Chain A
Amino acid sequence: MRVLASRLVVLAAALGLWQVLSATGVLRSDEFPSMTSTMHALWDQLTTAQLWSAVRDTVASWAIGLLIGGGSAIIVGSLIGLNRFAYQSVIPVIEFFKAMPAVAILPIVVGTLGATLQGKYVLVAFGVFWPLVIQVIYGVRSIDPTVRDTATVLQVRGPRRFFVVTLPSAAPFIATGLRVSAAVGLILSIVFELIGGGSGVGVNILNSENSGPPAYPLMYAYIFVAGVLGIVLAGIFALGERWVLHWHESRRNVRGAGR
């Protein structure tokens, strides 16, 4: 209760300071809109289709790109992780692509596919693939030798082995990778909108900026929406991780230590 009160005080103080700085002219209105006008713009937008269709377009392209890139990362990573030679050969290449900023391929994507949804999927999938595939490989390699040998002795093979033994062992690593990838994916879909165009939250931010000072409150309202989007998507992954991995040792320990 006391914590919540202190948080609300901080929020009120920050918003109040913002308004005072705008009113006194420290923040020039042609550079930075006032708090009340920004809140007003945000409130107005909440009831329009413009906001919600932009949110829908950004989230949809993020989700589909993540599905394509993440799905292929899990399949490819699991296969590579099974073989020591493949693993050793592929890791340097993956490290190379992981260290390269994924936005570098954006001009190729925009050039070949244009500012289309497909282009966005490709960029998001590409950026999401590398950080996740490396986690999947390490996850598959980290399997407990006792578990692995037991599975072999019990003759658990094929798809059953993959779903019952390999995937659960790798799950905590995959979860970490997915959390990172989800954040990367959101950044990439917004960058695509800022540079390539199309539709989405990024496009609306850039359009507001181009419309000049009267539209700046709108721009900050959309920036706020992007932040909320980041929190919601990160929150979904954190909750999902806790829900899916509740059985895992590391989770049980965390909960035990928390008491």
Chain B
Amino acid sequence: MSSPVGRNVTDAAVPPRPAVGRPATQPRRRARGFWLTRGLRRLAMLWLFVVIGVVWWFWSARTTSPFFPPLKDILHQLYDQWIVGDAKKNLASSLQNFAFGYAIASVGGVAVGAALWLARSAQEAVSPYLYFLYVLPAPVLIPAAMTIFGIGDAMKVAIIAFAAIWPTLLNTLDGMRGVDPLKLDTAHALGLSGFRVVRSVVLPAALPQIVAGLRNSLQVAIILMVVSELVASTSGIGFFILNAQQSFAFVDMWTGIIVLAVVGIVLNLLFVVIENRVLFWHYGARATEEKG
């Protein structure tokens, strides 16, 4: 979760991306000791988490506010509820809806974005409406989705998919529009088939931006996963948290919040790991360019 220090990872237009793993500029072979000290240094940078944990522990042990129960009780309950207990169902339910919704949004976003790229005349005609749907704060659609799908998993999957599709769709379209025309002309001159052009020219050129879109969609999907469970639901982590709060079970509420935080972080980390695998050639090339 740390970033290469002092190296500007992005240009101003793109939010910085935390790089995980080996920066592409590192020479291949290093002494083993190097990696050891490097790992230790990274570990040392987590000291603030320890401090926060310790402060929380002692502060919450003393406070009498019912909203902030002792961390010790929370951790106990976390184990009882989520590791051995029944609350696991809620985690599974949330993750399942998230997975379906995000998968639909990803595949749909790339497919529709690519189709729009091909249908050049339609692009400008529909672009303001796509933008409207993109900036529409998606949670407002939950009540409407409830009237159509009722209360249940179908509504949640639909709302996650509908909200998360726009960043991927717009970024796919944008990335494909940015493909160097010279490369496309070269591919045509070489007589490549349509499929080959897409696979060898369009996709590699557009992939970094498609991935950026997928990353934005991930954030949206996680938010909608929780919010859809908070508004009207009988299962999921969000439901668990709200239900605990409403029945004044504040220790339970805190365990739910911790689980939710962990889910968000794990999903983000997974994404970064996959991204670095898929796009290693891109970051490598860019690092070389930056070096000059």
A residues neighboring B (CB under 8 Å): 3, 6-7, 9-11, 14, 31-32, 84, 87-93, 95-96, 99-101, 103-108, 110-112, 131, 134-135, 138, 141-142, 172-173, 176-177, 180, 183, 186-187, 190-191, 194-195, 201-202, 205-206, 208-209, 213, 216, 219-220, 222-223, 226-227, 229-231, 234, 248, 250
Contact = CB atoms under 8 A, between A and B. Distances in A.
A7 B264 CA distance: 39
Interface class of chain A by DSSP: helix
Given A100-B260, A108-B257, A9 B125 contact: yes
Nearest to B138: A187
A14 B222 CA distance: 30
B139 A190 contact: yes
A209 B15 CA distance: 37
Nearest to B66: A111
Interface stretch (B25-33, B43-51, B172-180, B281-289): B43-51
B56 interface: no
B265 A173 contact: no
B8 A100 contact: no
Nearest to B46: A92
A220 B144 CA distance: 8
Given A103-B227, A110-B245, A95 B1 contact: yes
Contact of B125 (A3, A177, A180): A3
B2 A227 contact: no
A187 B139 CA distance: 7
Contact of B47 (A31, A89, A111, A176): A89
B143 A209 contact: yes
A100 B261 CA distance: 4
Contacts, number: 184
B13 to A, nearest CB: 7
Contact of A231 (B14, B124, B131): B131
B3 A91 contact: yes
Interface in B97-151: 121, 124-126, 128-129, 131-133, 135-144, 146-148
B6 interface: yes
A101 B253 contact: no
Given A105-B257, A111-B67, A223 B15 contact: no
B12 A176 contact: yes
Contacts of B222: 101
Given A107-B241, A112-B67, A227 B135 contact: yes
B139 A92 contact: no
A230 B137 contact: yes
Question: B interface, how many residues as a size bin?
Answer: 35 or more
Greatest chain B CB density within 10 A among A107, A172, A213 is at: A107
A87 B7 CA distance: 13
Given A91-B2, A91-B3, A92-B46, A99 B146 contact: no
Contacts of B147: 31-32, 209, 213, 216, 219
- Tell me which of B48, B133, B143 has the highest count of chain A C-beta atoms within 10 A of its own C-beta: B143
A112 B225 CA distance: 24
A93 B227 contact: no
Contacts of A14: 129
A99 B264 contact: yes
Contacts of A104: 226, 241, 256-257, 260-261
Nearest to B265: A99
B135 A231 contact: yes
B109 to A, nearest CB: 18
